[in-house]
Amino acid sequence: MSDHADIRLHAPYMSRGPSLRARVLWVMSSLGLLALLYGVFYDWAYVPRWGLCVAAGLALEATYLALGEGRWSLRSGSSAITAAILVMSVPAGIPLLPLLLALFVGVFVARMGMSSTAIRLNPALLARLFLMLAFNHEVVAWTQPGLPTDGVTTATPLDLFHAEGATYGLVPLLLGRIGGNWEGLYEIVAGSPGEIFTPIILLIGVILALSRVMEWRVGAAFLAAFAVTCALVGLPVVFSLVTGSVIFAAVFIAGDPVSTPASKGGRLMAGVVAGVANALIRAYTFYSEGIVFAFLLANLLAPVLDRLAFTLRGLMLLGQAAAFDRRGRARRGP
Amino acid sequence: MKAPMTREPADSVATAPAFGFPPPPDVLASAPPDVAYALPPPHHGHPLSRVVVTTGQVITAGAVLAQIDDADLHSAIAGTVDVAEHLITVRSPAGAAWRLEPEPSLTPPAGADAAAFAAFLAAAGAVGMGGSLFPAARKLRASAPVATLIVNGTECEPGLAIDRALLLHHDEWIRHGTDALARACGATRIVLAVQAAPRELAALRERYPYELAVMPRGYPAGAERLIVQLVTGRPLPAGRFPFQAGCLVQNVATLRGIGRALRDRVPFVERPLSLLAPAQKLIRNLIVPTGLSYAALLAATGCGFDPNHQVLVAGGLMMGRHVSLEDRVTLGTTGLFVLPARVVQARERACIRCGACHEACPLGLHPIAMVQRAANRGPRTRTEKAHIQACFLCGACAAACPAGIALAQRLREARQHV
């Protein structure tokens, strides 16, 4: 009849799923906005640096595909997200070479190499784990951006809280600028560029979730579980939520649909796992924050959580059927 | 915000209803040269149908061709009969018009009780015109007495608009059929389930004195199970029928047919359907004779078709099937789509576990997990079976999959193991 070889002879005849490329574009615009804000408020040099990393991510993805397929192409361009998240979760002044090395690990091992394997690790987190292990000093070298401060490093508010129990008012934390109250010397900027504009990140997260670009279940469950666990172990809840990269992770790391479980129930459980783990790491370990470990743990558990959700849904279906039949017998009488 | 997120084939029909306010369906004017009806194949050696005409016999429109269990087969046109093994063809003399009023050939029901009404439905050839073709007589006998009659006017296949047009313009027949069926099955509550714009809801409230259940927009809101769940407030578990939940569900086209059979004595020989050819910007609601070939339908409506670059899909985009020009309109044909071939082509890639299928499933099942765990060997565990049985193969998961995995097809295969 027709010479088209692969005409699909069965329904459905239409596709209405979200396009991966459109999703990547939306997320990249959000991350780009945050990078731009950092550039405006603190350090213009950060913007080209961010752009360079994103370009490097895309180049790595194209290289990976070229090695396998023999021609230059991009899959969904999602390595750009990996690069952007990575560069925004480390100090602004980190040397470029370790950063690119970590990006290579993230893209080649996790983003492309683990494509369609049973367990997938979030590539940005794997890259950051690599940095933490191989370049430990550079990852915590919180410089003072915007000041001619080659040699001066400071701690973040979270580090100070962790080490000395210092807390700050909510308003300066939300605005990302804290009046000098650490030895009265420096203004303290809260950590990595991605963590600073908490209210804006939260707003972006809500918009992305409502427009179905990002998955919201992991992030929401993560925030809820984190807040509850913080309250239980005696950490200040609001301070804990707005410091560190909790909000950033809830939006941009929890929102990654690929490394988290696929099922709705599994996603809720993964969020709870990550939230509880992060709060416990903050409270009881020598790390001031444990986003990387918390979410990598959730990634590793993804197949188990999916399986658990599958079984629970199946049991619920069986229970509904049994209840339906009981009601039917009661109606008909014995 | 929403716009860039949906990926439609470039010139596919929009998911939104194509008509603002559907005009009345046109009756196909010109006479078909012939109509043909396939007979059900014998079941375990027993014939399911008894042919009552012989080759060469001249019959009137609406005459019975074969007696089939619970739904007799009628001819839509007058003409000369040709009986082959599993196919009855009726050829019309040249120049004859297709009349909407075949010779009154039905006797009215003997009484108002369920048994007498079921016998009338069987003689009229009433079957489920939502696509299931399940005999209405058998459904009535199994259901009566039942508390609730649900009129299913929820058309959810994207692009189809025929049920909405019938509801708005053939309301007399629909009310007549609905009231009679409600009396026969003893229903005290009549619910009209629709998925319509507010403007249409007002028009429907004027026309129907029934309780209105508005289903959520989008596919697959018209599924029987979801309607029963909305009306009764409880999910209908797999393997249970609506009558077990106290409901009898009939499609609006079926009820129109019942009303027409009661009032005009016209048996089930008319099929209201939507014809859509997005590339030619053609969209029409039509009433056509059953047994009409798709070639004749396209010729009569002036709709072009290029077999090398286009394909025909009958039913709907989500649950329909690929047909050829020689295939015939049946009582279950809700629509015909002329689609560019590249729209129905799909390249399958590996699952990236994005969860789009989970998000799309109207029952909250785990489509990709079902496929990965049960497609090749069939479901093994209790919970795997529960999942596969609950799935009613709506195809929402497959349509949502960004990797183009044929989830619906795999699930259909997996179900065959249950």
Which of B352, B381, B413 best tests the A interface by mutation, with the highest count of A CBs <10 A?
Answer: B352
pLDDT number for residue B198: 77
Tally of CB atoms within 10 A around B291: 27
Which of B318, B339, B373, B383 best tests the A interface by mutation, with the highest count of A CBs <10 A?
Answer: B383
Chain B residue closest in CA terms to A329: B244
pLDDT number for residue B19: 54
User: pLDDT tens across B131-175, in order?
Assistant: 888 999 999 999 888 999 999 988 778 888 899 899 999 999 999
Q: How far apart are CA B296 and CA B309, in angstroms?
A: 19
pLDDT number for residue A284: 92
Contacts of A7 in chain B (CB under 8 A): 311, 322, 341, 344-345
Number of cross-chain residue pairs from A and B with Cβ atoms under 8 Å apart = 198
Question: Which residues does B372 contact at the CB level (< 8 Å), separation at least 6?
Answer: B351
Kindly report the nearest CA distance between residue B19 and chain A, in angstroms. Answer: 20
Query: Are A15 and B409 in contact (CB < 8 Å)?
Result: no
Query: Are A324 and B390 in contact (CB < 8 Å)?
Result: no
Q: Element (H or E) spanning B66, and its range?
A: strand B64-68
Contacts of A79 in chain B (CB under 8 A): none
Nearest to B341 among A7, A22, A311 (CB): A7
**Interface predicted TM-score of the whole assembly (ipTM), two decimals:** 0.81
pLDDT number for residue B99: 66
Which of A3, A7, A14 best tests the B interface by mutation, with the highest count of B CBs <10 A?
Answer: A14
Contacts of A313 in chain B (CB under 8 A): 364-366, 383, 387
Nearest to A116 among B341, B351, B400 (CB): B351
Kindly report the nearest CA distance between residue A12 and chain B, in angstroms. Answer: 4
Query: Are B236 and A324 in contact (CB < 8 Å)?
Result: yes
Which of B344, B382, B387, B388 best tests the A interface by mutation, with the highest count of A CBs <10 A?
Answer: B344
Q: Record the tokens describing residue B98, joined without a space.
A: 């297709």
Q: Which of A264-268, A276-280, B339-343, B385-389 has the lowest mean pLDDT?
A: B339-343
Q: How far apart are CA B139 and CA B144, in angstroms?
A: 9
Q: Element (H or E) spanning B358, and its range?
A: helix B356-360
Do the beta carbons of residue A213 and residue A27 sit within 8 Å? yes
Question: Which residues does B343 contact at the CB level (< 8 Å), separation at least 6?
Answer: A13, A14, B9, B10, B11, B12
Residue A188 has pLDDT above 60, yes or no: no
Helix axes A20-41, A46-69, angle to 10 degrees: 150
Any idea which residue has 């804006």 for tokens?
A: A200
- Identify whether B272 is preceded by a cis peptide bond (ω within 30 of 0): no
Contacts of B341 in chain A (CB under 8 A): 2, 4, 7
Query: Are A20 and B402 in contact (CB < 8 Å)?
Result: yes
pLDDT number for residue B95: 62
User: pLDDT tens across A127-158, in order?
Assistant: 999 998 998 877 766 554 444 443 344 456 66
pLDDT number for residue B27: 85
Contacts of B1 in chain A (CB under 8 A): 207, 210-211
> With pLDDT > 70 as the criterion, what percentage of chain B qualifies?
90
Tally of CB atoms within 10 A around B5: 16
Kindly report the nearest CA distance between residue A14 and chain B, in angstroms. Answer: 6
Chain B residue closest in CA terms to A76: B402
Nearest to A116 among B337, B352, B387 (CB): B352
Q: Which pTM does this prediction carry? A: 0.82
pLDDT number for residue B367: 93
Do the beta carbons of residue B273 and residue B145 sit within 8 Å? no
Do the beta carbons of residue B243 and residue B301 sit within 8 Å? no
**Nearest CA to B398 among B343, B360, B342, B352?**
B360
- Name the phi and psi angles at B24, rounded to 5: -65, 145
Chain A residue closest in CA terms to B352: A116
CA distances, B114 to each of A105, A288, B72, B140, B387 (Å) = 72, 75, 18, 7, 36
Per-residue pLDDT of chain B (418 residues; tens, 9 = 90+): 222 223 333 333 333 344 567 788 888 877 788 899 998 877 777 777 889 999 999 888 888 999 988 899 999 888 899 998 889 999 987 666 676 666 667 888 877 788 999 999 999 999 999 888 899 999 999 988 899 999 998 877 888 889 989 999 999 999 999 999 999 999 999 999 988 777 788 889 999 999 999 888 777 877 888 899 999 988 899 889 999 999 999 999 999 999 999 988 899 999 999 998 888 888 889 999 999 999 999 988 888 888 888 888 898 888 888 888 999 999 999 999 988 876 555 567 788 888 889 988 989 999 999 988 876 677 788 888 899 999 988 888 888 888 888 888 888 888 887 7
pLDDT number for residue B157: 80
Nearest to B345 among A4, A212, A260 (CB): A4
